Amino acid sequence: MCEKLSAEDAIDQSAALEHHVHRNYKFCSQICKMVTPTTIGNSSTFNQFVDSEFRYILFTIFYSLVFIFGLLANCYALYVLHRLRESKAMNEIRIYMTNLTVADLLFVVALPFWVDYYKNHGNWKNSDALCRITGSLFFINTYCSILFLAVISINRYWAVTRPLVAASSDCWKRGAIVSALIWFVTLAASVKSLTDDGIPKNKENNISRCFEGYQNEDYSTKYAMAITHFIIIVLFFLVFLMVIICNISIARALLSQPISQPQASTGKRPGGTKRRALRMLCAVIGVFVVCFLPHHVVQGPWVLSVLYLKEDWSKETRQSLNDAHQITLVLMGFNCLLDPLVYCFATTKFRKYIQNHFTKVKNKKHCSRNTLSTAVSLKSRHEN
């Protein structure tokens, strides 16, 4: 009897132990499910890189063309500005234009590396240091251009509303100081991109992305990147607002002036200066609206999307934002081609120098053709 009871007790104890182990296993499983997303979510979650396939052909062709025409246009603009400096026609606004041309050339000389990057389907074949340098040159060109176009607007505002201040004897010194300050601020802002890794450590499919592909970095890194982008966006809109206010003030001051009578000696109206000034402010605002405004409108939502900081956004939304971002980068690339047009509207001497230079070149070609035809006719007469 005792042996029978002992066997039954053993069976009951084994069943109780099995039930206890099963209950503890279920409890541990529930705890693990609750803990896993918060503790190792960043390392286990893999966010797919949002890409736009059309950009590889688009940027390869576009940046190649911008490199050719941008290099020619800005080198020629720098040559004209240098000749104006030699002729002692270098005032404050031409100092700004010279610095703006240098910024454009820094962007242009880096374009062959970006052409190679997009030709290789977004795979950076060069060193990380070169990636950081070329990416920083893109940043420097963009915000140097924005700031120099802004100070050109302020300079034209002073020239129209406060001509005595604009024509003061220390204008050259003021232009040099403002230019140095702009370069200092822009270079200081680009230090982080020069020192941090340009190629993300978390590579997808062993592809080295240059200044993109940060979607799988830790949350603190992505959050800091987003904050930096939004600070830049806010600063851009503050500068853009200042440009709009300056140019509207210029337009109001010009349009409020009475229509001048034609000069007796030439028969021309002095209103030509007014028209040129209005064309200049339209050119500056046009560069801002076409090249820079779309990028900074799209930039904020795009950053939240590609960094997966907005997890509830659909795949289609992320794709649309990324496609729009690529188009805005193309528009920004037009900046270095449009800046020389601003120079033509900003100063009469720049435009007149170009006109005279092309007239001389045309006359030389015409003279050389006449000389050649005369030589041929004389030779034929001599033979006869």
Q: Does residue 97 lie within any of the structural domains?
A: yes
Burial profile 45-75: b = 16 or more Cβ within 10 angstroms, e = fewer: eebebbbbeebbebbbebbbebbeebbebbe
What is the pLDDT at residue 39? Answer: 35
Closest by CA position to 303, among listed 224, 195, 209: 224
Task: Return the SS3 of 204.
Answer: strand
Alpha carbons 263 and 281: distance in angstroms, whole number: 26
Instruction: Domain of residue 71: give its range.
Output: 51-256+273-358
Alpha carbons 276 and 278: distance in angstroms, whole number: 5
Query: C-alpha distances in angstroms, 65 versus 33, 61, 244?
Result: 55, 6, 31
CB 94 within 8 A of CB 139: no
Task: Return the SS3 of 135.
Answer: helix
Split the chain (384 residues) into runs of 10 and give each run's mean pLDDT: 48 52 49 37 66 95 96 90 66 86 94 96 93 94 94 85 67 88 95 89 83 89 93 96 92 76 50 69 90 96 93 91 96 91 72 74 62 53 56
CB 66 within 8 A of CB 333: yes
The DSSP 8-state label assigned to residue 115 in this structure reads H
Closest by CA position to 113, among listed 199, 210, 212: 210
Q: Which two tokens stand for residue 179?
A: 């230019």
Q: Does residue 354 lie within any of the structural domains?
A: yes
Q: Does residue 31 lie within any of the structural domains?
A: no
- CATH number at 241 reads 1.20.1070.10
How many independent structural domains does the chain possess? 1
Please state, as a whole number, how many other Cβ atoms lie within 10 Å of the Cβ of residue 274: 18
Please state, as a whole number, how many other Cβ atoms lie within 10 Å of the Cβ of residue 126: 15
Q: Which two tokens stand for residue 218?
A: 């830790």
List the Cα angle 140/141/142 in 5-degree steps.
95
What is the pLDDT at residue 347? Answer: 67
Interacting residues of 325 by C-beta distance below 8 A, sequence separation 6+: 295, 298, 299, 302
Judging by beta carbons within 10 Å of its beta carbon (0-12, 13-18, 19+), is residue 346 exposed, middle or buried?
buried
Alpha carbons 141 and 127: distance in angstroms, whole number: 21
Judging by beta carbons within 10 Å of its beta carbon (0-12, 13-18, 19+), is residue 229 exposed, middle or buried?
middle
Q: Does residue 37 lie within any of the structural domains?
A: no
Q: Does residue 57 lie within any of the structural domains?
A: yes
Q: Does residue 193 lie within any of the structural domains?
A: yes
What is the pLDDT at residue 30? Answer: 47
Alpha carbons 353 and 373: distance in angstroms, whole number: 30
What is the pLDDT at residue 36? Answer: 37
Rg (CA), the chain: 32
List the Cα angle 102/103/107 in 5-degree steps.
115
Q: Does residue 90 lie within any of the structural domains?
A: yes
Alpha carbons 44 and 202: distance in angstroms, whole number: 13
CB 276 within 8 A of CB 345: yes
Q: Does residue 352 lie within any of the structural domains?
A: yes
Alpha carbons 8 and 170: distance in angstroms, whole number: 108
What is the pLDDT at residue 171? Answer: 75
Q: Which two tokens stand for residue 207?
A: 């592809």
Which residue is listed with tokens 């900081």?
Answer: 309
